[in-house]
Amino acid sequence: MSQLTEIISHSPATGAEIGHYPNTSPETIHELVTRARAASSQWNDIGFKGRKVILREWAHYIAEHIDELADLVSAETGKPTSDAMLEISIAIDHLSWAARNASRYLRNSHRAPGLLMVNMSTHVEYQPLGVVGVIGPWNYPVFTPMGSIAYALAAGNAVVFKPSEYTPGVGHWLGESFNKVAPGANVFFVATGGPETGAALTRSDVNKIAFTGSTATGKKIAAICAEKLTPVLMECGGTDPAIIDRDCDIERAAEAVLWGAMANAGQTCVGIERVYVHEEIAAAFNSKISEMASHLVAGRDYGAATMPKQLNVIENHLRDAAAKGAEFIVGSVDSVQPPYVLPTIMTNVPEDSLAVAEETFGPTLTIKSVSSMSEAITLANASNYGLAASVWSKRNGKAIASQLHCGMVSVNSVLAFTATPTMPFGGVKQSGYGRIHGPEGLREFAYTRAVVALRFNIPLIFTTFNRKPFVNKFIKRFIQILNR
């Protein structure tokens, strides 16, 4: 079957058409990667300072046009404009941080040569990979891909970006805005299209794929990357837990957990899906969060489900939970009311039910009371996913956090790591591997080169077929003394 030449984006709230964009073919992907590669050496040659100027100009341009971009994000995703504004603001902060800090974290790093190589100088260089293919999701169509795009560009790479087919307009806008500040630079291309376009980018000659999306798609992409050993960064899904200890500020915990679960209609990879609350405060916590949730209005506090087919997944999870004995303390088994999902909170949901074990990606929450924090930690860690977590305790927050098998934890807060450019972002287990953001995010888009250079000659030469017996004797004795 031949590929359609166009994709159309729609408003999730009204179904109205928003825009038509090319469904980029594999041939065009090949051409874009070739052009990006040709331009990448010049981009590398202008150095950290040159790239910083351009990337900061880009950040400035986006900030100046934030209203226009926020309207587009809101139209394509269905989220409130104020949420779009928040998302874009955090993305600009990351772009600016990456531009300003790439030189600090990617400059040559001197290492100790060690006693055996005392006559050598040793340092590590961080080299750009070349062309990075970025494949993005729709839920945060600016913030999420920017975590790869900004860091890859700042590290000296060219980028070809394939935005989600649900948010092609936002991707196109990002490409156009970069072209306005760096016309003809040819180091940032946007290739709109569907899964086939993403697969073509993955199969192309890119030097790395930075993927953000579902675990199911991540596995397909990793399999394609395995064919050529293309390195891949995987930012996938999660079923993030919140752990609520008996000494927490119940009101603040309820308020933040509710936002962490329901903001963006629950379509947040690091959104909270499961709560484990100490039994001594479970009744108070449940009543507080239910009361707060009762004031939420779908369509005002959060938008429509961006991807209509996700509504079936959410409904399936609610029905499965109901069949397994869940009690709905907010909402009901009929909370899915297209294009919206009403706020839904359930208790008594078995741990093996879909709503607990799989990513629901809707404004829903399961709450389980536990007799101790060690039970909460065990249940939180029992998931196949390990993206992020939130812990609420005045005395033991950090101690609990240190026992969680996940990539990010907020203590007495939710999602705080997203807005902190110095902090690495990513998961473990089926939530993926590799990191965006922070120094780790910059190094994710560079390869290391170890350089060892002779400083002066010494009589002990190891790397020769004419090695003298006294050299062998010396090495043996030396290592024995050092390891006594």
Contact positions vs ligand NAD (CB under 6 A): 135-140, 144, 162, 164-165, 194-195, 198-199, 202, 212-214, 217, 220-221, 235-238, 269, 307, 359, 361, 387, 427, 432
Q: How far is the CB of 441 from ligand NAD (least distance, A)?
A: 11
Q: How far apart are CA 318 and CA 175, in angstroms?
A: 39
43 or 189: whose CB is closer to ligand NAD?
189
Q: How far is the CB of 197 from ligand NAD (least distance, A)?
A: 7
221 or 281: whose CB is closer to ligand NAD?
221
Residue 130: alpha-carbon gap to chain centroid: 21
Q: Which of 244, 239, 261, 267 has the alpha carbon at shortest distance from 406?
A: 239
Q: How far is the CB of 350 from ligand NAD (least distance, A)?
A: 22
Catalytic residue among 225, 236, 248, 269: 269
235 or 245: whose CB is closer to ligand NAD?
235
Q: How far apart are CA 313 and CA 310, in angstroms?
A: 5
Burial class (CB in 10 A: 0-12, 13-18, 19+), 319: middle
135 or 336: whose CB is closer to ligand NAD?
135
- Tokens linked to 44: 């590398």
At residue 7, what are phi and psi to the nearest 5 degrees?
Answer: -120, 150
Q: How far is the CB of 306 from ligand NAD (least distance, A)?
A: 8
Q: How far is the CB of 387 from ligand NAD (least distance, A)?
A: 6
- Tell the residue number behind the tokens 């040819």, with chain if given: 186
List the beta bridge partners of residue 122. 452
Q: How far is the CB of 427 from ligand NAD (least distance, A)?
A: 6
Cα torsion 5, 187, 129, 99: sign: negative
Catalytic residue among 76, 235, 359, 444: 235
Q: Could you tell me which residues come within 8 angstroms of residue 464 by beta carbon, excluding any fewer than 6 positions away?
A: none
136 or 424: whose CB is closer to ligand NAD?
136
Q: How far is the CB of 423 from ligand NAD (least distance, A)?
A: 13
Residue with the shortest CB distance to ligand NAD: 198
At residue 180, what are phi and psi to the nearest 5 degrees?
Answer: -70, -35
- Tokens linked to 151: 């860091």
- 120-146 as b/e, with b when 16 or more CB fall inside 10 Å? eebeeebebbbbbbbbbbbbbbbbbbb
Q: How far is the CB of 137 from ligand NAD (least distance, A)?
A: 3
Q: How far apart are CA 445 and CA 223, in angstroms?
A: 20
Q: Which of 163, 21, 138 has the alpha carbon at shortest distance from 75?
A: 138
137 or 303: whose CB is closer to ligand NAD?
137
236 or 376: whose CB is closer to ligand NAD?
236
Would you call 406 a catalytic residue per the annotation? no
Mind giving me the DSSP string for 314-370?
Answer: HHHHHHHHHHTT-EEEES-TT-EETTEE--EEEES--TTSHHHHS---SSEEEEEEE
CB atoms within 10 A of CB 480: 9
Would you call 273 a catalytic residue per the annotation? no
Q: How far is the CB of 458 from ligand NAD (least distance, A)?
A: 50
CB atoms within 10 A of CB 88: 25
Q: Could you tell me which residues come within 8 angstroms of residue 364 by beta carbon, excluding any fewer than 6 positions away?
A: 261, 266, 273, 314, 317, 318, 331, 335, 341, 343, 344, 345, 346, 355
Residue positions annotated with a catalytic role: 235, 269
